[in-house]
Amino acid sequence: MNNEHNRRIYRFYAPLYDRFFKAVSDRPRRRAVQMLHLQPGERLLIPGIGTGLDLLYLPAHVSVTGVDFSLAMLEQARAKVNGRDVTLLEMDAQHLDLTDASFDAVLCTLSLSVIPDGRAAFGEAWRVLRPGGRIVILDKFLPESGELTWRRRALGRVVSALGTDPNRRLSDIIAGVPGLAIQQNEPSLFRGQYRLLRLEKRG
């Protein structure tokens, strides 16, 4: 997967995405927002915001910055802003043009498995998160104990061609990040193949 491949794929998905993913992701999105414990006036970053489905669940009292590499997806997100404090930026989540420690919270829904270098995207989210801030992740990961068999690799190649990589391990994405504490790690969709996590940046 690379940025241009993703851009082509998500241009195609943009008008269809909500029809397929809104209903199935309803409960985990509600839960993800609950896990963030957002306070009035807080600043929230959403890397890979896509069509902005998360915006439907967020309280109106937060200031949201959504970043995506696909203009077609961002256009769909724009239709959900509804006069709220939301800034949408066409930007690569692997190289955020945003100031260090400028966000109270980050929400990564279904993006760390899509952005070509999930580890770089996580590192950037971590950089712009203030000490004491938190990240909530909803995504699928290769189970830590699971072996990367040839079958799983082959499946991974096919699924990656469709725009998401099912063979990433969370531990590889967050390895070596200083001050990271996993506060919650819950099973979510598809019998726990998707996880919901809350991480805190200890300052």
Binding site for ligand SAM (CB under 6 A): 3, 6, 10, 21, 48-50, 53, 67-70, 73, 92-94, 109-111, 114-115, 164
> Mind giving me the DSSP string for 28-51?
HHHHHHHHH---TT-EEEEET-TT
Residue (5 or 202) nearer to ligand SAM, CB: 5
Taking the complex as a whole, the smallest distance from the CB of residue 46 to ligand SAM amounts, in Å, to: 7
Taking the complex as a whole, the smallest distance from the CB of residue 26 to ligand SAM amounts, in Å, to: 11
Q: Nearest to ligand SAM by Cβ — which residue? A: 50
Taking the complex as a whole, the smallest distance from the CB of residue 90 to ligand SAM amounts, in Å, to: 9
Strands 180-187, 129-140: pairing is unpaired
- Extended strands (E) in the chain: 43-47, 63-68, 86-90, 103-109, 129-140, 180-187, 194-201
Residue (65 or 70) nearer to ligand SAM, CB: 70
Contact 72, 14 (CB under 8 A): yes
Partnered with residue 129 across adjacent β-strands are: 103
Taking the complex as a whole, the smallest distance from the CB of residue 116 to ligand SAM amounts, in Å, to: 6
